[in-house]
Structure formats: C-alpha cells, structure tokens
Structure 1
Amino acid sequence: MVNVLVVGSGGREHALSWKLSQSSKVDTVFTAPGNGGTQNNVSINVDDLDGLADFAQKNNCFTVVGPEDPLAAGIVDKFNKLNLPIFGPSQKAAQLESSKIWAKNFMKRNEIPTARFEIFDDAQKAQEYVKSLDYNVVVKADGLAAGKGVIVCDSNDEALAAIQTILVKKTFGDAGNRIIIEERIDGVEASYIALSDGDVAIPMASSQDHKRIFDNDEGPNTGGMGAYSPTPIIDDDLAKIIQEQIIEKTILAMKNEGILFKGFLYAGIMIRDGKPYVLEYNVRMGDPECQPITMRMDFDLYDYFAASVDGRLSSLPPASWKSQFAVCVVLASKGYPESYSKNDEISGFDSIPKGSFVFHAGTKKSDGKIFSNGGRVLGVTALGDTLRSAIANAYSATQKITWSQKYYRRDIGKKGLSYL
C-alpha cells in the first residue's frame, strides 16, 4: 500500500483525489492545500516545493501534480533528484504549456498542425502587423495566465485593444512580456488528453470544454465553465488522426529533442473542415474536463500513474471507460472572471441525487459549513445513458446547490447534441 499526495486545490485535484482513493493499492490520499471538499488536507501551498517534498518523503507518498504552476517551476525535477516518485512532466517538458512561444516554435519545426503565427515584444510593431492582415486573429500572452491569457478577436480594433491589454497595460504581468498573434481558425473546439511515459501515449476519453463565461460562447475566456465526455465531435477516425499526427508525433519529437515527456499531454484542438489543428498544449489534466473524465474511468488510475513514472505503460491494457456520458456544470461566483465575492455560505450538498457528484474547487470548510473561496466554486457532475440525459441530470443536481452569488452557464453540452 502506498500513500498519495495530490498537489493543488481545484476541481481537478478533487476529482483526482476522489478517483485515486478508490484504488486498492492506495492507503491514504492527501491533498495540498486542497479545498472544502477534499479529504486529508495538508496546509502546504503549491509553490512550496521544499515543503511538499519534505511531506512526501516523511509520509511515503507517491505525488500527483494537478496544476501547471508547480510543473513549470520544476517540482518534478526536484522530486526526481530526491528519488521521490512523482507523476508529471519535467520543467523542460512543461515548456509546452509554460511558454506558448516555445510550443508554437516546437510545432512549427516538427510540422505539427497549428495556426500560422508571429511573435512580438513591441506593441507598435505588433499593431502594424495586425493592420496589414486581411483575417481575424487570436492574441496570446506567452506565459501562464490561468487560462485567461488568450483573446479571440472579431476585428482589427479588438486585436489592437488586445495588444494594449497584454503588452502595454500588462494585465497578465510578466506572462505578457511577449505575445503571439496567430490566425484565428474558426471551427469546433475539443479537448484531447493522453497519458504518456515518454514512449507510449494512452488516450483518455475525449471531452469538450466551454471556455467563455456566457451562454453561446460569448464573453471573455475563463478557466472553463463546464465540460462533457465523450464528445461526438471526435469520432473514431478523427481520434486516430489526432492520436497519430499530434499526440504521438509530439511525444516522439520531444524525445528526439532530448526531452522525455511523462504525464498528461493535453492538446486543445480546433477542427476545421474535418482537419485538427493544435490551439495550445497543456501538460496536465484539464479542469473542468478532469471531472467528467474521472467519473467515466473504469480502471485503477493509480496503476496508470505508476506505470507512467516507471516507463511501462506498454505493459498495461488500453484504458476502459463506462459507456455513459458525463457532464460537468461549473458553478461560479457572480463577477468571475473579474472581481467576485468570497465567504458566501453554500447549502444543498445533502440533496444531490445518486449518479451525480459535486467536485469542490473554490471552497473552504469552517465549523462544518462550506463557503465560497474562489471564482470557480463547484463542478456539479452527473452521468447519463445519453448525452441529453447526462445534461438533464447535471442541471437537476445544480438546482440543489444554493448560495447568494451562484452563477452558471445553462448550455453546457448543448453543442454536442447537434452531432448525435
């Protein structure tokens, strides 16, 4: 038996902790720092790499890293030097997410399909470039910006404003010291996540995130307002193309460049005219995609994490999945992704129907009560035999949860229905 330490405090980490606790090989799952819904919380922040390593060493922990920041900071390299088992990519491998410019150049030199782009650190030159274009663009901050550093533009004026926001006003701080201006590829977006040991990549169930704050994909980008799995947008033929031409090609190219990629490789895919393009890479499980994906897992997740670390994924069978659909509706605080209130008491957890589960994100527990403590607060996730029934079940469960500042989208999963 082994103990597991899950690093992070969001809905993804609650979902990973929940699934790992079901393993017959796992004794205790600790979460650092955790949230109001996770068990065995450890008050160590994700940026305290020394504290996390010390805890893992003293408690015989296999460590699983949820969010991107500690991966970009080199937590895996630190643990490896101490011979502590840890699931996730190295700091060099994490550049696929920590630097969008590094990732775009990597895709370009390895002929991985992506939108054409240019890189700028000078606002005036960037604005002159935009004015010369006859197509719409997406403006991206180079560094980590909690999923919010991407501005999709509908006009030249919006692109010029985005350049001002990132490069001049420094809305995303040093993450916006350089920007990418890339062609806007209009199509259907989906998430494709695989689990790799550096040689082999086992696909996870397909999913689709809903990034914008308002219904019908309107308003600014967020960390994600809901997701569902599987998505009918990625059929078997398209999944094969993505797996071979993007995921496996990425793993091999990284290896050829001297970087062994271990962990979750997430490709944000835009599908146009049946062809997939990589919008961006993430080097960890998506959030909120993790919630419906873990609900559908029909295998011992710890086995696959351990095999990833040890380089023996090829010895395991393909991941197996429940045939049901799963839908996650994120309940946020009104005002997110801008300013929002905290410390609002939340009720209704005891009324959640069977087949649904509430994953906590921005919550805290005090005197046995749950309070809001972030922008994305809860991920209400439900199974259903069809996508339509899973959507209905998830929204039925959301009605049980109440607090004064609750906000959520009412169209999660809807876009998938048109493909069925």
Structure 2
Amino acid sequence: MKVLLIGSGGREHALAWKIAASPLLGKLYAAPGNPGIARHAECVALDVTDHQAVVAFCRGHGIDLVVVGPEAPLVAGLADDLAAAAIPVFGPTAAAARLEGSKGFTKDLCRRYAIPTAAYARFRDAAQARAYVESVGVPIVVKADGLAAGKGVTIAFSEEAALAAIDECFSGAFGESGAEVVIEEYLEGEEASFFCLCDGRTALPFGTAQDHKRVGEGDTGPNTGGMGAYSPAPVMDAAMVERCMREIIEPTLKGMAEMGAPFTGVLYAGLMITADGPSLIEYNVRFGDPECQVLMPRLKDDLLALMKGAVDGQLARMSARWREEAALTVVLAARGYPATPEKGSAIAGVEAAGAQEGVEIFHAGTALREGRLIANGGRVLNVTALGASVTAARDAAYRAVDRIDWPEGFCRRDIGWRAIGREAAGR
C-alpha cells in the first residue's frame, strides 16, 4: 500500500513509526512531516489546506490510503473531498468531526442520547453568559465552542476568573471558535483518555492513557497541549472500559449514524471518572498528542491493517492486542511555552538518548538548519519509554531526557505521578 500521512507533530511521528513497521506498506509519504518523520517517510511540501492539491497528489502517486493526523483538516472537510475523489481516508467527515469541532454539538448529542456528561448551557451573548455564571456560582468550566488548539478551556474557581474567560472568548481571542461558549458544571474525579477505532457501525476499544495538561509540576500553571502521558490508565480497568463502551461510545456511534454522519476513524473520549462512574468531558476525532506517543509503542498489532479495516467496515472481525508493559512520554518544550516559545535553539544528544533500550524519541516541533537539529515550535520532542511498570517507564524516560543537550528546553519532572503513587501504595 502507498500511504499519505497528513501532519507534522509528535503524534504524526509516532504514527509514521508504527505504519512504517507494517508488512502491508509499500511507500509512506508525509505532508509536511518533520525531521523525525523523515526517517520513516518521504516528506512532501504539500499545502494540506488546499484539498484539491492533496487529491491531485494522491492521484499522481497512486495513494491507497490517506491518514489524517490533526483535527483541523478533518473539521475543514478534507476527508469529504478525498472520499468524493474515491481516495480511501482514515478520518471522519466534516459532519462527523463536529464531535470535536463544536463542543455545543457534542453536549447536545449527549443530552439527546442520555450520554453521561456535565450539566451545561450554550451562549452567543457575553452578557447572558456572565449572568449565568453569576446565578450558578463557581467552580465552573468555560469553553470556547470551536477548535482552539487546546487553549480555549478555563476551569474557574472564582467568579472573576470565569467572567474573564467569557470576555476572552467574546473579545476574539480564539477567533470564530470563541463566538459561542459552552459553560459546564465542574466535575470532581480522575481524568482519563479512552480511544476507539470506528468504522461507522463498530467501535473497537483501542487503549487508554492519562496525560498532564498543565505546564508546571504538581499540575500547576496554564493548560498546554500536553506535557506528558502514560498508558495504560490505571483507573480504566476492564469493567470501566466496558461501562464506557456501553454508556458513552456505543450511543455516540448510534446517534451519529442516525444523524446521517456515521463516524469512521479514531474517536478519543476525554473522560472524568467520578464517584458515579464515567462522564464525557469532550470528544476528539483523532489520536491525542502526546497520548498517541504512548499507545503506539504498546500496540502489538499492525496499525495499518487496523486502519484499513476501519475504512473498509471490517472492525467487527478484528481486535487490538497490547503489550503488558507501561509506556510513558515526557514532552520537552521550548522556553516560553505555552505563551511565546523561543525558536531556533540547537538541540544535541537526541541520537544517544534514543539509542537506549525501550526508548523512542518522537519529534514534534523540530527542524534542520545547516544539518543541525533546532527547536521550531512549543512542544519540541517526546521522549518515550517502555517499562515493566509506570515507575520503570518513568525512570527510563528521564534517563533519556538527561542525555539530551538543550539548555533552552524544559520539561516536567513528575510525569506519571498519579500512577506511580498507586504503584508505591501497592494498588
């Protein structure tokens, strides 16, 4: 098979690494890719916002499958335009991608199909939103309705913070994504990420993870795209997975099909495991980043075969097997992230770090300048390790981190703290 992978981040590097191991693969292209992805694929300068250019590339190169990594092209309808050109694509249509593209759409779906989620209200008027907060009180969660690169969510523990978040959305900080806000009740519990491959009718459970959104140790500071992750998530035992499938995933697939927008691709449920059970926080319509970087090293089966099975509607007869080891990834970010990351600094020692057994270094925001690896984004490298436990994976990952010479970078030193605490307590 000839495959085109869309994207340029750490998630896409992990996908390229795994797809490249498939015996089904003939040739892998990546648009635009990055220096790490270039080890596994031919990177091509293709404007992925120009859907007809993508279609032309696929036709000209005999592409058998397009794998879309990030959410923005899906919300923009890339899968629709590829399908219209009879080019198979792993990823949902624009109508199905509303599950991520509009938080209000997803909340309404939950209400309609009795899917457990936090109580909410939707607003297009700042004054009405402010009055609602003043009436219900805090803590409360304020979300920009549309895509906001992981930065349009505020967990407000004071009324002042909630009102400021509303003003930020309606002032245009997130563009059209903030033209509507969703305000939700605050849920107590433990967050987890749950993934399923979907073919429109069948959902195949595809692993669990937990990530660390806040930039600072002890889960402090502003939210980021993710500073690290580990898999599996201890809170997601077999009984909880079964319950999530029954109460959340299966009603979602049924509802989308009934709406005429069957979901194909990977469905990523962000969950809060409360005292009453699982509650849906949000849906994403692609692999998480950095969760993908801990799922791929644990997957024993052929990712490309599973993706093809999803596209062909064959998931009911397929399964996914996982290594018993835990995986943990540490994000190395550029100084200034998540506000204004400093770009252009040189990075050394990546080869030595990645040479350790059980360690993979996935590139995110990197570039090459005169043969030297440099930082070219906020989240720059994902240092990933396998281990017999989360503690062992953590130790291996940080040993690799310490071999990378990049004074302008930083990372959290407490990735996996919740699971490691459980392990230390023997739970």
TM score, norm. by length of structure 1: 0.97
Q: Which residue matches 2:185? A: 183
CA distance in structure 1 between the partners assigned to 2:44 and 2:413 by the alignment = 35
- Say yes or no: does 1:414 pair with 2:413: no
Q: How does 1:147-296 map to 2 (within 5 A)?
A: 147-168=150-171, 170-296=172-298
- Say yes or no: does 1:306 pair with 2:305: no
8 Å CA contact 1:5–1:64 kept in 2: the answer is yes
CA distance in structure 1 between the partners assigned to 2:393 and 2:276 by the alignment = 26
Shift of 1:366: 2.8
Unaligned runs of 5+ in 1: none
Shift of 1:274: 4.9
CA distance in structure 1 between the partners assigned to 2:304 and 2:408 by the alignment = 37
- Say yes or no: does 1:141 pair with 2:144: yes
Shift of 1:135: 3.7
AA at the equivalent of 1:412: I
CA distance in structure 1 between the partners assigned to 2:12 and 2:50 by the alignment = 17
AA at the equivalent of 1:200: T
Q: Which residue matches 2:14? A: 15
AA at the equivalent of 1:400: R
Deviations 1:312-349 (A, max 9, x none): 11122x20011100001011111111012111111101
SS in 1 for 2:26: strand
CA distance in structure 2 between the partners assigned to 1:416 and 1:216 by the alignment = 14
Deviations 1:83-118 (A, max 9, x none): 011100011000000011111111111111100011
Q: Which residue matches 2:119? A: 116
Deviations 1:112-153 (A, max 9, x none): 110001111111111111111134110000110111111111
SS in 1 for 2:43: coil
Deviations 1:130-183 (A, max 9, x none): 111134110000110111111111111110111111112x21111100101110
Identity over aligned residues, as a percent?
44
Q: Which residue matches 2:84? A: 81
8 Å CA contact 2:192–2:272 kept in 1: the answer is yes
Which stretches of structure 1, 4 residues or longer, exceed 6 Å deviation after superposition? none
CA distance in structure 1 between the partners assigned to 2:249 and 2:62 by the alignment = 33
CA distance in structure 1 between the partners assigned to 2:143 and 2:351 by the alignment = 42
Q: Which residue matches 1:59? A: 61
Shift of 1:46: 2.9
CA distance in structure 2 between the partners assigned to 1:64 and 1:134 by the alignment = 43
8 Å CA contact 1:47–1:69 kept in 2: the answer is no
CA distance in structure 2 between the partners assigned to 1:49 and 1:392 by the alignment = 44
Deviations 1:344-398 (A, max 9, x none): 1111012121210100010112333211110010110000011110011111111
Aligned length: 417
CA distance in structure 1 between the partners assigned to 2:306 and 2:170 by the alignment = 41
AA at the equivalent of 2:20: S
Q: Which residue matches 2:379? A: 376
